[in-house]
Amino acid sequence: MAKETCDRITHDLFADEVRLGRPKSNPHPRKVQLKINKQKQIRRDKLKGLKRIELKVDQQLFKALNELSKERNISRGELINQLLHAQIN
């Protein structure tokens, strides 16, 4: 039986052939990628003079912030920043 290169059904004929799949875009596992990306984000924010804070709010306030930020076409973080600046100044 002759080997046909277009015949991919006969697996044993192509067992030695290395077929590359989708190339790996990053050598690190996903968990490590996330950690590296977070470190890069913190570094970028630090260069911009930004500090990270965490805030826990109830569901009703969260929804209100989301709606208001969509109305103003800004991110929720930018909205909270504006509201805090307005309250302090």
Please tell me the total number of residues recorded for the chain in this structure. 89
Res 27: pLDDT: 81
Between 3.90.25, 1.10.10, 1.10.238, 1.10.1220, what CATH number should domain 27-88 receive? 1.10.1220
Domain extent listing, the chain:
27-88
Which pair of structure tokens corresponds to residue 18? 């290395």
* Closest of 49, 37, 58, 59 to residue 81, by C-alpha: 49
68: burial class by Cβ within 10 Å (0-12, 13-18, 19+)?
middle
pLDDT of residue 19: 62
Q: What is the pLDDT of residues 29-82, one digit of tens each?
A: 889 999 999 999 999 999 999 988 889 999 999 999 999 999 999 999 999 999
pTM: 0.56
More confident site: 3 or 78: 78
